[in-house]
């Protein structure tokens, strides 16, 4: 077979005299190859070869034309039909008008942040294929079914750690451009593999929004997470307590320091940061309380709001001090998800305003596919981390 193909290719190459001949050969090979595959699919579907006796009531019923867009341009092919209309080809599925890498190219360009008009211009100049901006929208909108399936996919019953953070985007809503939050949740399973668990567009970061998100996670099968790490988001603490009552909620120390410094004049910031280090770098919670008492005595009179911001969420700020270093490093900040969000922004940041929520979701989802290989993997040194988790949460891990 291999030798026969080589001879056929040699004979074909001899007939190619210039680039135009090469393009014609490409088109004809592609067209004949597709139609040959379609005929084979129809034969398998009906159960008998052309010219043979039918094995049932269903028989061939002519052809219908279909124009396909390829990276070389457009070609017209004949799609075989059957009398009962039950034939659904796989090489050229129904409603699909592109083959090769052109549809992937469009989605990739969209993921890179190009506008529909820019994509139209690129396809025309690069491939000689003409599309309208509305056609590009139709193509990328096909992703919404995939996204819907992805958003509703089942989750593991237990996660070691989950992080929550938001990226804010300008989105047109009811004739106005407003800022909405794309809430992203990343989790590490008990096997150490990290994954994006959910993506939600919310208008307001409120207790009601958090409750809906937590309910969705539970509906999809998530029963427990040992730790949930976030910024001090309004209403989140109660939503976590309601949906995952055993979960340890850790508020990001880095965010807390930033929030603290909002209350502080520039000349005192260095001293404040030094005193705050005594709290979050303490060996345990008792020593952290001593450091906080000192912090309060020194700065409570001048910066009562800053001191109060620590006191109000003390348990969630210092929860990590109950655990060994391997676990502390993972949970005391949201650096993990912030790094992920930073990668997302490289793709989605070029879109100044999204026309609607679906456009933002498509862009985020496509960007996710681009960066997935870099982060969808096992955490470094997971064996040692898991051993420490097992020591502290044996009953929940084995339950």
Rounded Cα–Cα distance for residues 151 and 190 (Å): 21
Tell me: do 233 and 206 sit in the same domain: yes
Considering the domain architecture, whether residues 131 and 222 belong to the same structural domain is answered as no
Pairwise CA distance, residues 58 & 78, whole Å: 19
How many domains in the chain? 2
Q: Please give the distance of CA 83 from its chain centroid, rounded to a whole number.
A: 43
How far apart, in whole angstroms, are the C-alpha atoms of residue 107 and residue 56?
42
Domain for residue 152, yes or no?
no
**Residue 32 belongs to what domain range?**
2-146
Three-state DSSP class for residue 141: helix
Structure confidence at residue 177 (pLDDT): 92
Task: From 111, 146, 181, give the residue that closes a domain.
Answer: 146
What's the pLDDT score for residue 191?
Answer: 93
On whether both 123 and 187 belong to a single domain, the answer is: no
Please indicate, yes or no, if residue 151 is contained in any of the structural domains: no
DSSP code string of 195-214: EEEEEEEESS--HHHHHHHH
Whether residues 220 and 295 fall in one domain? yes
327 and 232 belong to one structural domain: yes
Residue recorded with tokens 């014609």 = 24
Nearest CA to 143 among 363, 379, 327? 363
Q: Where are the beta strands (DSSP E) in 246-334?
A: 248-251
Strand bridging mode 176-189 / 158-173: antiparallel
The length of the chain, given as a count of residues: 399
- Domain finish residue from 108, 127, 146: 146
Q: Are 236 and 315 in contact (CB under 8 A)?
A: no
Q: How far is CA 245 from the centre of its chain?
A: 27
**Confidence (pLDDT) at 347:** 77
Ranges under pLDDT 50 in the chain: 1-2
Closest by alpha carbon to 315, among 251, 265, 366? Answer: 251
Residue 247 has what pLDDT? 94
Q: What is the predicted pLDDT for the residue at 236? A: 87
Look at residue 308 and tell me if it is in a domain: yes
Please answer whether residues 267 and 255 qualify as being in contact, where contact means their C-beta atoms are separated by less than 8 angstroms.
Answer: no
Q: Kindly state whether residue 289 falls inside one of the protein's structural domains.
A: yes
């Amino acid at each position: 077979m291999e030798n026969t193909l080589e001879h056929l290719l040699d004979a074909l190459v001899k007939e190619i005299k210039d680039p135009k001949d090469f393009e014609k050969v490409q088109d004809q090979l592609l067209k004949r190859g597709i139609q040959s595959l379609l005929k084979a699919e129809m034969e398998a579907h009906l159960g008998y070869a052309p010219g043979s006796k039918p094995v049932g009531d269903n028989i061939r019923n002519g052809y219908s034309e279909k124009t396909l867009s390829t990276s070389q341009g457009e070609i017209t092919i004949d799609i075989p039909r059957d009398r009962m209309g039950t034939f659904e080809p796989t090489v050229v599925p129904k409603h699909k008008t592109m083959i090769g890498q052109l549809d992937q190219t469009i989605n990739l360009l969209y993921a890179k942040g190009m506008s529909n008009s820019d994509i139209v211009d690129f396809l025309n100049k690069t491939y000689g294929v003409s599309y309208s901006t509305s056609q590009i929208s139709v193509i990328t909108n096909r992703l919404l079914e995939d996204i819907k399936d992805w958003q509703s996919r089942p989750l593991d019953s237990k996660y070691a750690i989950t992080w929550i953070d938001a990226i804010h985007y300008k989105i047109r809503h009811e004739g106005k451009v407003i800022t909405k939050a794309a809430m992203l949740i990343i989790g590490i399973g008990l096997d150490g593999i990290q994954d994006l668990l959910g993506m939600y567009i919310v208008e307001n970061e409120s207790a009601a929004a958090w409750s809906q998100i937590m309910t969705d996670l539970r509906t999809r099968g998530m029963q427990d997470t040992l730790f949930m790490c976030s910024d001090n988001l309004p209403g989140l603490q109660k939503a976590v307590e309601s949906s995952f009552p055993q979960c340890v909620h850790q508020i990001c120390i880095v965010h807390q320091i930033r929030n603290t410094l909002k209350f502080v004049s520039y000349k005192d910031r260095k001293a404040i940061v030094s005193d705050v280090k005594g709290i979050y770098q303490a060996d345990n919670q008792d020593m952290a309380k001593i450091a906080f008492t000192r912090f309060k005595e020194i700065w409570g009179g001048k910066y009562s709001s800053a001191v109060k911001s620590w006191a109000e969420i003390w348990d969630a700020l210092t929860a990590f001090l109950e655990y060994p270093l391997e676990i502390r490093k993972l949970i005391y900040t949201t650096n993990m998800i912030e790094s992920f969000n930073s990668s997302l922004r490289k793709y989605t940041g070029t879109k100044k305003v999204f026309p609607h929520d679906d456009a933002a979701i498509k862009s985020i989802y496509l960007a996710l596919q681009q960066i997935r290989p870099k982060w969808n993997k096992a955490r470094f040194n997971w064996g040692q981390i898991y051993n420490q988790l097992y020591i502290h949460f044996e009953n929940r891990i084995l339950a």
